[in-house]
Structure 1
Amino acid sequence: MKLFYVLGGGLGHLTRVKRLISTLGIESDFLIFSTAWATKVFPSDQCIIIDTEVVNDKGKLFDYLLHQLIKHAVTDLYIDTFPLGLFKEIDFNLIPKQCRTHYIARYLKWNTYIQKSSFQNVKFDTSYIIDFMNQEQFRFIKSNSNTVHHYQLKPSKVKAGQQNQEQKYYLINHSGSQEEVLQLLELLKKHPGYKQSNLPILINSPKDFSGVIADNVEMIHQYPAHSLFDQAKLIVTGCGYNSMIETLPFFEKHIFTPFERKFDNQFERAKRRNDFVLSNTR
């Protein structure tokens, strides 16, 4: 049995892990160790849901993880993004010896994450690098992994919809705060393409901001979001990992702005997308 440790904000980490699972050809015999968000992405019988009380207690969280590793005879533990766990709660000395460990490496603000951390006895059988890396994080991966694989995860395949003008809309896709959604709404309204058509605005988010949304704006809760992209006249997002991958086929109608994050670097993602657009529109 394989177990994927997936803790982080919202649906992003889960969506990314789902994409990697598909890329690796893992079709069954795996479990997702996460919060209740997991059931929006994976079948509920494959999800080990962590109670809020447990998530907020490092000791209880690691004890619960150990219990699941033993209970399900886990042979492979995949740790997403945070090599010692989100709260640095994972003690590699206590992981059962028959359980191989693997690291799913997305970019981290490394110096922010590793403060007062000990990496003694941390060793991964395999690390999967799926993002750009800073040098310190890459050196850690090389020094603490038996094997390193690089993967460029691909956008989801979506069947093209009917290009019916009456069905089109402006789409804001974001799982962040109300303040950030309002910033994206202002970004849309300042775009020249917005002024050319009187179309409805859809805000797709797992959260509900309907109490502060203006006329001609509708809140929806569609997952996966990429199924909405084809029919959108403009797509507006932040610069999270999944947003930038899924919008790549639609870069000509994608507008975006980076937001500050504790561990991620959305500004670097924005720069890389701008470089890509320049190289493909000359």
Structure 2
Amino acid sequence: MIACYAAGGGLGHLTRLRAFLHTMAVDDEVVVLSDSPFAGDPRVSSGWTVRPASTGLAALAPDELIVDAFPAGLKGELTRIPAGIRVTHLARLLRWDAYLPLLPADPPRFDRTFVLEPLDTAHEAHLRAVSAEVAPLALTDPPSERLDVDGWLVVHSGPDAETLELLAYARDMVAMEGANPPLTLVSPHRPDGLPAEVVHLDAYPAGRPGPGVGRIVTAAGFNAVRQYAPWRERHRMLPFPRTLDDQFARAARVRSTSR
């Protein structure tokens, strides 16, 4: 059995786990430790057993533990892992200066760390010090239907204020370009204040755009940047401040390598 520690209330951790388990062709029993409300959506967690993030590993006795994003948990709550469990870490960009004070004195050690995107130098140095093996890994999502709509897509899982800000960003671009495309919001729910002319679509996964999609507007989270990389010429991102994720650094890196 594989346990996946995905503390955090958003959708990103779960989407990344789906992609990792698919990439590694995992066919073992999977128990996901998460308090995210999205974990209750069968489109997200089909085939998994979901338990609270506080569930003790000693009681689960997994063969392997996958620790997503935060090397010592969201608040530094992970220290020693019970003996006999293989420990894998999935590393993505963090605001390492903000996360470093959360590291416990005896942080977890990893049998292997997969680096999913370029990291802060000090962050990577820490992972190399606590990992027996460090290697890059490109994730592949499970197959999904195309989002076959005409016009522009705005894709975000919330909160509502950010969703509406992304929509305003898209509408500003529409005005500047003198365009008049239909707008479709892909989000788990329709936020209050969404203009009536904007179509709302609750689609998961919000993956491959169909040929009628002229523009994709998202934040600069790990999954959005990764998933829409093949359509970079159509993708526009607006980074948002996060306590531990550095969307601004991610967006700057993508823009610098796309010139």
TM-score, structure 2 as length reference: 0.88
Deviation at 1:229, TM superposition (A): 5.2
Q: Counterpart of 2:110?
A: 124
Alignment partner of 1:153 is 2:135? no
1:172 match: secondary structure: strand
Q: 1:82 to 1:102 in 2, by over 3 A?
A: same
Distance between the aligned counterparts of 1:144 and 1:201, measured in 2? 46
CA RMSD of aligned residues (A): 2.4
2:207 match: secondary structure: helix
Distance between the aligned counterparts of 2:34 and 2:212, measured in 1? 32
Deviation at 1:263, TM superposition (A): 0.6
Contact persistence 2:221–2:247 (CA under 8 A): yes
**Aligned-partner residue type, residue 141 of structure 1:** L
Distance between the aligned counterparts of 2:175 and 2:234, measured in 1? 9
Q: 1:260 aligns with which of 241, 253, 256?
A: 241
Q: 1:10 to 1:229 in 2, by over 3 A?
A: farther
Mapping of residues 16-27 of structure 1, within 5 Å? 16-27=16-27
Contact persistence 1:34–1:47 (CA under 8 A): no
Contact persistence 1:5–1:79 (CA under 8 A): yes
Deviation at 1:199, TM superposition (A): 3.5
Q: Counterpart of 1:191?
A: 173
Q: 2:56 aligns with which of 61, 65, 68?
A: 65
Q: 1:191 to 1:173 in 2, by over 3 A?
A: same
TM-score, structure 1 as length reference: 0.81
Q: Counterpart of 1:97?
A: 83
Q: 1:230 to 1:175 in 2, by over 3 A?
A: farther
Q: Counterpart of 1:38?
A: 39
More helix by share: 1
Q: Report the count of equivalent residues.
A: 256
Contact persistence 1:161–1:230 (CA under 8 A): no
Q: Counterpart of 1:58?
A: none
Instruction: Give per-residue Cα distances to partners, 1:126-157, cap 9 Å, x unaligned.
Output: 11111211111111111101111211224666
Contact persistence 1:142–1:148 (CA under 8 A): yes
Q: Counterpart of 2:119?
A: 133
Distance between the aligned counterparts of 1:132 and 1:147, measured in 2? 16
**Aligned-partner residue type, residue 219 of structure 1:** H
Mapping of residues 1-282 of structure 1, within 5 Å? 1-35=1-35, 36-40=37-41, 41-43=44-46, 46-50=48-52, 61=54, 64-66=55-57, 69-71=58-60, 73-92=61-80, 95-115=81-101, 117-120=103-106, 122-154=108-140, 167-192=149-174, 197-209=179-191, 211-228=192-209, 230-278=211-259
Instruction: Give per-residue Cα distances to partners, 1:6-58, cap 9 Å, x unaligned.
Output: 12242111111111112222123222111342243121x522232xxxx6xxx
Larger Rg: 1
Distance between the aligned counterparts of 2:33 and 2:233, measured in 1? 37
Unaligned runs of 5+ in 2: none
Instruction: Give per-residue Cα distances to partners, 1:41-98, cap 9 Å, x unaligned.
Output: 121x522232xxxx6xxxxx2xx233xx434x31111111111111222231xx3212
Q: Percent identity?
A: 27
1:191 match: secondary structure: helix
Distance between the aligned counterparts of 2:147 and 2:123, measured in 1? 41
Deviation at 1:121, TM superposition (A): 5.8
**Aligned-partner residue type, residue 49 of structure 1:** R
**Aligned-partner residue type, residue 30 of structure 1:** V
**Aligned-partner residue type, residue 109 of structure 2:** K
Distance between the aligned counterparts of 2:122 and 2:88, measured in 1? 19
Distance between the aligned counterparts of 1:116 and 1:10, measured in 2? 20
Unaligned runs of 5+ in 1: 56-60
